[in-house]
Structure 1
Amino acid sequence: MDIASNDDHPLRRLTLDQLRRRTSMKWRTHPDDVLPLWVAEMDVPLAAPVARALTEAIAIGDTGYPAGTAYAEALADFARERWGWDGLAVERASIVPDVMLGVVEMLRLVTGPGDPVIVNCPVYPPFYQFVTHMDRRVVEAPFGPGLRLDLAALEEAFARSTDDGGRAAYLLCSPHNPTGTVHTAEELSAVAALAGTYGVRVVVDEIHAPLVTAEAAFVPYLSVPGGESGLSLMSASKAWNLAGLKAALALAGPAAADDLARMPEEVGHGPSHLGVIAHTAALREGGRWLDAVLNDLAENRRLLAALLAEQLPAIAYEPGPGTYLAWLDCRKLGLGDDPAAAFLARGRVALSAGSDFGTGGDGHARLNLATTPEVLTEAVRRMAKAVG
């Protein structure tokens, strides 16, 4: 394949046979007769600028340890161009191995063992796994109507978590996984105000930030009034399908600079140098490719909605403006708490089990729609047959 030409419909370029040659988690967890629409990997070729940067680095043996601020500088320029945000300060950015390991390090800075960490459920399962593994306790603040932040529930969780005078953190997912919710500036400002009132430190996973539709607008948490004391994690990995090339950035608001400065120096040893090169190239030169992906995702959202309406009308699906994930309410199908298990066993389609996403997840499934229209169409056909 000519990598120079893959800006044109990245989600339509690879055949199922080509995809099955991959050896990543998505394509090796299940047998070959299963269509994998679960883990967050995209079925796309590598963006040409990223492929070139990696090829050039390998050609000169540039495979040592990461150094410098090129990644942070590229992200700062991307944020200015895409989101109109010029507040990403390179001096308040630190490289970390990936977003979730960065989350762990940020939570260690602002909480201690046994302290509460508030999350909005349903939410990305590693939020539960990583938080409990580091000896913190999860406090849930469920989403409200329309799968949006419930500020009353959030305030109640903040109050309950700090009523003994101890420390607490709020781990916010923005845009939200699995619902695709994109939080507004007003919502995030209200969050910051509540956090200030109750003394809760906000740590934000913003890994899906570039993956927002044209009809919505991603708002960096650190850009809103009151967000100055926040800590954010960003990466190019989701938007350019670079999960296997480890690198992310921890960002601090002006009032959190001293917190970030306390992060152990050895944390910065974990990222891959090739990962830093790839992520930097994506942010610097991968804008056209990203726009093509966003267009393909918009078409896939429309396709999925039409297919479900026609073949599985009992499934409730409201396309979210963020991420490439679809949150399917399957409770009317009568498949119990784990409809993903039935779709896998009877239809040979792998989705993520909604119950893994905490309260509000039972009876739901998460579908990764970053695939070809052909695979998406066949997956829904199989799912319909599984319940027919």
Structure 2
Amino acid sequence: MDRTRTRDPEARSSADPLCQLSLEQLRRRTSMKWRTYPEDVLPLWVAEMDVPLAEPVRRAVTEAVELGDTGYPAGTRYAEALAAFARDRWGWDGIDAQRTAIVPDVMLGIVEMIKLVSGPDDPVVVNSPVYPPFYQFVRNLGRRVVEAPLGEDGRIDFAVLEETFRRLAGPARRPVYLLCSPHNPTGAVHTAAELTEVARLAGAHGVRVVADEIHAPLVASGVSFVPYLSVPGAEDGLSLMSASKAWNLAGLKAALAVAGPEAAADLARLPEEVGHGPSHVGVIAHTAALREGGAWLDELLAGLDANRALLARLLTEHLPGVRWTPPQGTYLAWLDCRALGLGDDPAEVFLHRGRVALTSGVPFGSGGAGFTRLNLATSPELITEAVRRMAASL
């Protein structure tokens, strides 16, 4: 879908969700983003968006509360809504509700998928730098994390990945590859050719793929998301999807595990009690977002396109020493601050000198030192003020 509205890359629609809330309104929020730091700090760190709820979601949640419909989740409405969304947005008809399971959220779902397809001594491969909970949750499960670092371009380095798979392969081993798609923090959206190569290498070396696709709806104009399970060779893969990132629903817990045809038997072994964890109201909210929130999402995507263009201009003007590649997906910008001489953790410097909260690159693993992650899902005014403060702190 072409979302271009004007020749000005920073032009805004009056319906842009990123421009609807004032700083005063946002500071009334009690979530992590707005309560972790003092009020003089601009929070552009954790992956929450500064947007109002999409109207279909607000309406669905309000109706549920008014009805007292706050019991346990049931049925396949969420899966059916995701299947329809996948057909409409990605041209993919591969989600069968009978090969899905509701899980509390994507990371807890990932843990359950790893337990289904591997054993306690089997390693889990990640592409560093990568979302820090990949390390935290996998290690808390008692598994060893093995890094297959990304290339300098922030994309999968297939020579490194193949060597890692080869090194871990063995008749008594069942390694898992935890794929981040789109990749957090670099924002790379994997192509069909890249994902097909992932499937080929995994099949050749006996590696099972579990894909975190939580950012799937969030792609830049002109970029297409490709579901991992849609490519040849991925039939034994497992995917975790959710409406939480694209519609800012992290506080309304719900996600879906989706199995490829050859992984259906694995998913069928998921303990029944795992399905008790998601919120019924969360399922209602996510279903409404997927079924009726498309117009709102399009406005958000256009706003994020404008914010990427804005950040590019601001960095050129005020922080030319910062290197970055505008993300193809997610609403996160991965900033290379190594030329600024701020050490391994520039986020700490920007926080204390500039009163801007960014996410430190260090917990993202190898390749994260000297980087910081900036959340673009806020108003252009806050991005502009944040960059001004960052530049003034040098």
TM-score (norm 1): 0.97
1:336 is matched with: 343
* Residues 1:9 and 2:10 aligned together: no
Does residue 376 of structure 2 align to residue 369 of structure 1? yes
Q: CA deviation at 1:165?
A: 3.7
Q: Which amino acid aligns with 2:281?
A: L
Q: Pairwise CA RMSD of aligned residues? A: 1.0
CA distance in 2, matches of 1:137, 1:27: 34
- Cα distance, 1:320 vs. partner? 1.1
2:292 equivalent among 268, 281, 285: 285
Query: Secondary structure, in 3 states, of the residue corresponding to 1:139?
Result: strand
The one-letter code sitting in structure 1 at the alignment partner of 2:187 is: G
- SS of match in other structure, 2:393: helix
Residue 50 of structure 2 aligns to which amino acid in structure 1?
D
Give the secondary-structure state (helix, strand or coil) at the position aligned to 1:227. Answer: coil
Q: Give distance in 2, aligned partners of 1:338 and 1:87.
A: 42
Partner of 1:41: 48
Q: What whole-Å deviation, never above 9, does each CA across 1:224-255 have from its counterpart, x for those lacking one?
A: 00010000000000000000000000000000
The answer to whether the 8 A contact 1:7-1:289 is kept is no
- Kindly indicate whether the alpha-carbon contact (under 8 Å) linking 2:165 and 2:207 is maintained by their aligned counterparts in 1: yes
User: SS in structure 2 opposite 1:88?
Assistant: coil
Q: CA deviation at 1:214?
A: 2.5
- Does 2:133 correspond to 1:126? yes
Tell me the residue number matched to 2:154: 147
Q: Deviations over 1:139-188 (max 9, x none)?
A: 00011131111111000111111146411000000000001000000000
Corresponding residue for 1:98? Answer: 105
Q: 1:67 aligned to 2:60?
A: no
Q: Distance in 2 between matches of 1:328 and 1:153?
A: 23
Give, as a single letter, the amino acid of the residue that structure 2 aligns with 1:372.
S
Describe how 1:1-388 pairs up with structure 2 within 5 A: 8-163=15-170, 165-387=172-394
Distance 2:140 2:256 in 1: 22
Gaps of 5+ in 2: 1-12
1:7/1:292 contact within 8 Å kept: no
How far apart are residue 55 of structure 1 and its match? 0.7
Q: State the distance in 2 between where 1:168 and 1:7 align.
A: 49
Residue 336 of structure 1 aligns to which amino acid in structure 2? Answer: G
CA contact (8 A) 2:221 2:305 kept: no
Conserved? CA contact 1:230–1:253, under 8 Å: yes
User: Secondary structure of 2:235's partner?
Assistant: helix
- Asked whether the equivalents of residues 121 and 358 of structure 1 are also in contact (C-alpha less than 8 Å), the reply is yes
Matched pairs, number: 382
Structure 1 residue 91: deviation in Å?
0.3
| SS class of match (2:61) | helix
| Equivalent AA in structure 1 for residue 285 of structure 2 | A
How far residue 7 of structure 1 moved from its aligned partner, in angstroms, is 8.3
* 1: CA distance, partners of 2:170 / 2:152: 27
**Aligned mates of 1:179, 1:13 — CA distance in 2:** 27
Q: 1 CA distance for matches of 2:346 and 2:93?
A: 44
Distance 1:295 1:23 in 2: 27
Aligned-residue offset at 1:323: 0.1
1:325-383 CA deviation, whole Å, 9 max, x = no partner? 00000000000000000000000000000011000000000000100000000000000
Point out 4+ residue stretches in structure 1 off by more than 6 angstroms.
none
